[in-house]
Amino acid sequence: MHSLKQGPVAVIGGGVIGGGWAARLLLNGIDVRIHDPHPEAGRRVREMLANAERAWESLTSAPLPAKGSLSFCGSIAEAVEGSVFIEECTPENLELKQRILAEVENDAASDALIGSSTSGLLPSDLQSEMKHPERLLVTHPFNPVYLLPLVELCGGLLTSPEVLDQAAALFESLGMRPLKLKKEIDGFLADRLLEAIWRESLWLVHDDVASVEDMDDAFRFGPGLRFALMGSFLIYRIAGGEEGMRHFMAQFGPALKWPWTKLMDVPELTDTFLDKIASQSDEQAGNLSIRELEQIRDDGLVAILQGLKGVDWGAGSVFRKQEKQLFENFHQNAVHKDLDETQPLVLHRGWIRPSWIDYNGHMTESRYLQVFGDATDALLGYLGLDQEYLDSGFSVFTVESHIRHLDEGAPGSNFVVKTQLLGGDEKRLHIWHELLDQESGSLFATGEHMLLHVDTRAAKSCTMQSRLLSKSQQLRSLHQSLKRPEAAGRSIALPSGN
């Protein structure tokens, strides 16, 4: 089985789910090929990608990998050729999906896995007409795919068990929480829960007990927030007090027989009822467009995920693990064996994101410090400061910085940072960074920093461990022959007499 890093991923269908898959893959550095005959597919996918980038800029400060390339293909054959994974995201129509899947496997590599983003169709039915059904599984995500980590994996009667394991590993590498179903069942797990809530909500609106906004408020201001942290079983276990779940069931189990819901009975979807739902939904949305509603949703999810990350629980725990891996990957990728160490090192590159721009239309000063901080981390990774080193109880802290702002960084510009080790000793590193426009070579800013090696457990400075000390001494010796920057060591001062 290939790694996603070894080749492109094909996405068949560029709607809400297909576009969401594309965004998650692209932001994880995966090249994506999309086939969707809709004339507006390109615009829609790019708008979703822009929203995904906006959300992830708020979600994490971890350096993301270089964004994958996005291409739109005129045929399924063109999209799947050479792809290591194919994600089918066409409408919920069994005959249509069977026809698309047959076309996919005719042109796909023999070892490429095929996932279907169906919300309820059984994988056994989907694979019934396939020549190689063993590599087909359901990969059911949740909207927005680029933020929500859950993906339900369900194999059919002919799906190879190894395929489920391989797919789970692939999705974990994308920062997701794959949930493998023990049995094939209509609607899988989460949609069956959602369907129960949806049926009851329809009845309450139908019977004029509540409006559509009332129903949404009843969930989003109460149990919805709680469900972001825990599921029903753990919530009810806690409700049972010290005696736990058994006590809860003894107290509240009989209520399951009470006529609280109309769960198995759905109101008739008459034109009058559908008009009522549609008009109330329009009133609820007001003047907000779909894209604005998506951004409001994404902002809320970012806040929830950030909060849950802080307590290392639920979806926040999954994201915390991914963010840690992003930092580790960034530091590992900073090690370049072919660098000319006799010259300033280029260890950090990037692009100026729209959210970095201030009211003057160029990069705000805090972002210069962030870029220089990332470049410092890259240098430390190059010198040997990795997770093992940190886990041993040692690190390097910045104790002084001086930044000169020389030019204006425009949004979308690519930049590079050149790094020179000006000096140091057994405990200190004196670093000089230059931030330049990658295309023109224009110097945006310089950063001068003093770093101190510390024993994090004793909370005091100490001598570097041998591997970090040896590498830093070697680089310092090589950089001694470089011209010292004229501004190095400069302090802030007005000319005499002013």
Give phi and psi for 436, each to the nearest 5: -125, 150
Residue 76: its pLDDT value, please? 97
Query: Do residues 430 and 360 lie in contact, with contact meaning Cβ atoms separated by under 8 Å?
Result: no
Domain residue ranges of the chain, discontinuous segments joined by +: 4-188, 191-286, 334-479
List the beta bridge partners of residue 424: 429
DSSP tag of 363: B
User: Does the 334-479 domain belong in CATH 3.10.129.10?
Assistant: yes
Residue 296 structure tokens: 């409001």
3-state secondary structure of 38: coil
Lowest mean pLDDT among 225-234, 325-334, 464-473: 325-334
Q: pLDDT, tens digit, for every residue of 86-112?
A: 999 999 999 999 999 999 999 999 889
Architecture of domain 4-188: 3-Layer(aba) Sandwich (3.40)
Query: Do residues 297 and 16 lie in contact, with contact meaning Cβ atoms separated by under 8 Å?
Result: no
- Predicted TM-score (pTM) above 0.75: no
How far apart (Å, rounded) are the C-alpha atoms in residues 15 and 169?
A: 25
Q: pLDDT, tens digit, for every residue of 152-171?
A: 999 999 999 999 999 999 99
Q: pLDDT, tens digit, for every residue of 299-343?
A: 888 888 888 888 888 888 889 889 888 877 766 665 566 789 999
β-pairing, 9-12 vs 85-88, is parallel
Task: In the chain, count H helices and then E strands.
Answer: 17, 14
Which pLDDT band, with edges at 50, 70 and 90, does 433 fall under? very high
Examine the pLDDT at 351 and tell me if it is beyond 80.
yes
How far apart (Å, rounded) are the C-alpha atoms in residues 152 and 119?
A: 10
Residue 289: its pLDDT value, please? 84
Query: What is the number of alpha carbons within 13 Å of residue 95 lying toward its C-beta?
Result: 0
Residue 447: its pLDDT value, please? 97
Mean pLDDT of the chain: 89
Fold (CATH) for 191-286: N-(1-d-carboxylethyl)-l-norvaline Dehydrogenase; domain 2 (1.10.1040)
Residue 161 structure tokens: 């068990």
How far apart (Å, rounded) are the C-alpha atoms in residues 375 and 394?
A: 20
